[in-house]
Amino acid sequence: MKVLIRVPVLLLAIASSMHAYAQAFPTRPVRIIVGYTPGGASDVNARIVAQGLSEVWGGINAIVENRAGAAGGLATALTAAAPPDGYTSMLCHIGSHAIAPARSKTLPYDHIKDFGFVSLIGTTPNVIVTHPSMALRNLRDVIAYARKHPGKLSYGSSGVGTSPNLSVELLKLMAKIDIVHVPYKGGGNTVIDAMGGQIELAASNLPGPLPFIRSGRLRGLAITSIERNSRTPDIPTVAEQGVPGYDVTSWFGICTQAAVPKPVLEKFRADLVKALDMPDVKKRLSEQGMDVKPTTSEEFLEYVKTETIKWAKVVREANIPPE
């Protein structure tokens, strides 16, 4: 009888201790690992969020740590293997948690089972652009020309298996057209060659070419999200131009380890939502082309599962080579 009484008392004590631990979280700096070099969109977004979290945490810093390698895979592997205490997180995104798993069967982690999904940060569409001198005035022109002249048009992207690349590969599948892919080492070079007229089309995350669309040095042909973007309201979506149901958005969130205690994960999420609601953070992310959309941990997990299924199908049907 004494044993039976002690068990619930012990469980209550453990639960109370864990709640107190979570309420105190964090008591030391929290790492946000970014799988790319400093200065890119992922790095900039992570630093904006880190600054907001540091303010919410009263001076306990969220520190961005750049660990480039294996197309973001190094950062993902390091995060999965870190102690599950909430003090090591990563900027997870469409590449790390949807496209990479679809392209590789030998990842040293399970992108779903090994991670705790704190919250989505937000989304940004891709955009298809061309030089203003080109006769292609909109995406309908592109589709019509590609159907009449298969394999004659080419498009550039930031590389094989990136979100811009797969945006066009999905368009090719849905519109039943043939356009040749020219992979670049980074989105910046793609945009530069599109402005110089060296390539007919370019696909990129919206923030990269946005200033050049506004200045008239590039013509925006289509936005990849299901709705028009407020930053480029005059550019119609892919779906509006004869490809119903088409919808692609790049996304970013914060992930940690699956074994992080739930009260700690919930505290991390609540603090992240507070940071994302700060006017300066929201404004700076918006300037980067981000639509801030925090979620619950459960919503984020389900979103990642849906994205995984979607991009596995595209990778398979488009014959994207494995990593």
CATH number at residue 118: 3.40.190.150
Residue 225 predicted with pLDDT over 70 = yes
Quote the mean pLDDT of the chain: 91
> Strand 180-183 to strand 88-93: parallel, antiparallel, or no bridges (unpaired)?
unpaired
Question: Is the same domain home to 144 and 190?
Answer: yes
Number of domains, the chain: 2
DSSP label of 237: B
Q: Is the pLDDT of residue 295 over 60?
A: yes
The alpha carbon of residue 209 and the mean position of all alpha carbons in its chain are separated, in whole angstroms, by: 17
Give the DSSP letter string of 107-121.
-SS-TTTTEEEEEEE
- The DSSP letter of residue 197 is T
Average pLDDT on 109-124 reads: 97
State whether 62 and 171 are in the same domain.
no
Gap between the Cα atoms of 264 and 69, Å rounded:
29
Within-domain flag for 59: yes
Q: What percent of the chain lies above the pLDDT cut of 70? A: 93
Beta strands, E only, the chain? 30-34, 62-66, 88-93, 115-130, 154-157, 180-183, 201-205, 219-223, 249-257, 291-292
Residue 101 lies in a domain: yes
Which tokens go with 111?
A: 């992108």
Residue 168, pLDDT > 70, answer yes
* Mean pLDDT of the region 159-168: 90
Q: Are residues 149 and 230 in the same domain?
A: yes
What is the predicted pLDDT for the residue at 229? Answer: 94
- Least Cα distance to 44 among 34, 55, 56 occurs for 34
Among the candidates 199, 214, 241, a domain finishes at 241
pLDDT on residue 186: 75
Alpha-carbon Rg for the chain in angstroms: 22
Among the candidates 220, 241, 262, a domain finishes at: 241
Q: Which of 219, 241, 263 is the last residue of a domain?
A: 241
Residue 161 pLDDT class (50, 70, 90 cuts): confident
Q: For residue 111, is pLDDT > 70?
A: yes
Cis omega before residue 207 (within 30°)? no
For range 58-66, the mean pLDDT: 95
pTM value?
0.84
Q: What's residue 11's pLDDT?
A: 44
Q: Are residues 133 and 44 in the same domain?
A: no
Domain interval for residue 150: 125-241
**Is 302 part of a structural domain of the chain?**
yes
**3-state SS class at 157:** strand
Please report, for the domain that includes residue 196, its CATH number: 3.40.190.10
